A and B are shown apart, each in its own frame.
Chain A
Amino acid sequence: MSSRIEILNDGGFRSDGRRQYELREMTFDMAEQAGADGSASVAHGLTQVRVSVFGPREAKMRSQTIHDRANINVEVGIAPFSTGDRRKRSKGDKRILEFASTIKSTFEPVIQTALYPRSQIDIFVHVLQQDGGVLQACINATTLALANAGVPLLDFVCAVTGGVHAAAPMLDLTTLEENDLPHVTVAVMPRTGRVTLVSMETRLHVDRFEEILRLAGQAGGVIHKEMRAVVRERTKGLVDAMGAGVRTSDFAEDAMVADS
């Protein structure tokens, strides 16, 4: 495959017409989905992920409760048609389990779990389409879904994938690029600029790693801006709706005062 498609051509364009540091089109949809306390659909290019959050609520299994904080339960489902070749993965697949535990341990310190002792927060992740950057999409979607559910977070977690092609760093890789290049997924917490997740499974020289880590940190900031805008807009809608309610009740109070 690598022989036919040029990852980065002489003009500095990638196979899908992007520049080196250009991100794909992002869609953050925080519209509510049936039943969930909070949900979000995120798309980075063709990659689509949907996350639903339930809770904090009573744990399904008593044994899972922790006396001084909330237990976080992450389940990941991958649609069989999400990849180029159809593949059905069972729930016990080690990759999926690792993926779930990565998401869980990423969000455990970010969620203020101490506020909800003896309860459970369920995060259901559904990967609908995969075209590179699945972990990145899952993390961003989980952040938004948690925010949407009103779960108190210490900060956003914004993730982005970076790769290196012949010493040239690139951002937000597609499947095609991921197959050919070493790549790193980095999640940053924008308030402090610190890195909470680094995940790499391919061979990369230390110097290149340094470069891509810094670059991904900056890109995380860009994604944060987008995410924050979506959260603000959503919250504004809610506040406006609530404001409408308050006004009528104010009115009622006025009327009562007038009565007395």
Chain B
Amino acid sequence: MAFKSLSKSEKAYIQASLQSNSSLRGDGRSLQEYRTISLETGVAPLANGSARLNIGKNDAEAGGGTEILAAVKLEVEDIEHGERVDQGRVTCSVSCSPAAYPLASSGGLDDLQHDYSTFLDDILSHPSITPANLGIVRGKKAWLLALDLVVLSDSGNVYDAMFMAARAAIWDTKVPRTRSVEYRAQKKQEGDMDVDEEKQSGLDTRQVKAATDFELEDYWDEGIPLVGREAWPICVTLNLLSSLHFLDATSQEEAATPLRLLLVYSVASKSTPALQGMQLLGSGEVDVAQIKKLIQDGEKHASQLLAAINLKLRDEEVRLTDKARLKFASVR
């Protein structure tokens, strides 16, 4: 839990053990090790894509851990002329359950939500990572992808968890297939008003050039995944304690660490990671040379983390398809 106050001696104990030669952590992990991450997609049936992510859930007691629920809703939006005519946009907001921060005042909770929302929105709404297939009708209509995250509980490392949950929700999102339609004035011939003309509707769906509106495909359709979902960024939080850094801090460790460096990377397939965002949280100073090294280290951690998540997401995809198939079979 954030806002957890830690006594001086607790703090010193955690710091000393982290800095000791064998660098000990309370739960026996090594410095670069994550807690168990559990991930499930397709948890919110009314959303276009959703995921629930938990870091550090203790299976024995069935409790604990940082838990995030992320969901994507697609809405049709009219686009103004001029700006980005064939692209949709992404907005992102975070809300925190008061249960995640039971000690925070309602004002404090609002501030926190605002901080999280701005950080995520700044990075995730950038056009460079906006999925390419959000456009519907060029210059007229596009999908607005609204990504909402709910922090259900926080026991450390919320930022990494939020980005991973967002990635999973994006991965799970399917965009409905659409067809453009246009209205054409019916040709009128002068004089012969009563000539039997073939009844024609003003709607024409073939060879549309100046589409004005769209319609959904008639048959049941799952939709298509977002283009460019591989490049959706993830975050690695490096917790800095003098010269060493460690990953995935618990809330106690967070309270004992003065500085945190958030690094957000986007990895398009097979290329080197691109740094999408960076933020230094806390008080203190880091010199530039160290930051350079940290960024390199972060890159390594990010690609490892990403590989693991991608593997899991592919598994989930298979699981959901299998589930759907089974359900379908049982109905039949």
Contact = CB atoms under 8 A, between A and B. Distances in A.
Nearest to A175: B46
B69 interface: yes
Interface of A: 31-36, 39, 46, 48, 50, 52, 54, 60, 75, 77, 79-86, 88, 91, 122, 124, 126, 128-131
Contacts of B69: 79, 128
Contacts of B61: 32
A82 B148 CA distance: 10
B237 interface: no
B142 interface: no
Nearest to B74: A86
Interface string B1-41: 10000000000000000000000000000000000000000
B97 interface: yes
B125 interface: no
Nearest to B62: A31
A124 B97 contact: yes
Interface of B: 1, 44-47, 50, 61-67, 69, 71-73, 75, 93, 95, 97-100, 102, 105-106, 146, 148, 150, 152-155
The 7 closest A-B pairs by CB, nearest first: A32-B63, A52-B99, A34-B153, A81-B71, A86-B73, A124-B99, A31-B62
A79 B99 contact: no
Nearest to A33: B153
Contacts of A35: 1, 99-100, 102, 153, 155
A33 B69 CA distance: 14
Contact of A34 (B50, B64, B71, B75): B64
B265 to A, nearest CB: 26
Given A80-B93, A81-B50, A128-B150, 13 more contacts: A31-B62, A34-B1, A46-B46, A50-B97, A79-B69, A79-B71, A79-B95, A80-B95, A81-B72, A81-B148, A83-B46, A91-B106, A124-B99
A39 B99 contact: yes
Contact of A75 (B73, B93, B98): B98
A79 to B, nearest CB: 5
B330 to A, nearest CB: 13
A234 to B, nearest CB: 10
18 contacts: A31-B63, A33-B153, A34-B67, A34-B100, A35-B99, A50-B152, A52-B97, A54-B102, A79-B95, A80-B93, A80-B95, A80-B148, A81-B73, A82-B44, A82-B46, A84-B46, A86-B146, A128-B44
A129 B95 contact: no
A126 B45 contact: no
Contacts of B153: 33-36
Contacts of A52: 97, 99
A175 B100 CA distance: 29
A39 B99 CA distance: 10
Contacts of B63: 31-34
Contacts of B102: 35-36, 54, 122, 124
Contacts of A81: 44, 46-47, 50, 71-73, 146, 148
Nearest to B64: A34
Contacts of A128: 44, 69, 150
Contacts of A91: 106
A204 B152 CA distance: 39
A32 B153 CA distance: 11
B62 A32 contact: yes
Nearest to B331: A17
Nearest to A54: B102
Nearest to A85: B75
Contacts of A84: 46
A60 B105 CA distance: 8
Contacts of A36: 99, 102, 153
A135 B310 CA distance: 38
Contacts of B73: 80-81, 86
B95 A34 contact: no
B152 A33 contact: yes
Residue among A34, A46, A54, A77 facing the most chain B CB atoms (10 A cut-off): A34
A126 B223 CA distance: 29
B113 to A, nearest CB: 10
A86 B99 contact: no
B283 to A, nearest CB: 26
A15 to B, nearest CB: 15
A48 B146 CA distance: 20
Contact of B65 (A34, A79, A85, A124): A34
Given A50-B152, A79-B148, A81-B148, A126 B65 contact: no
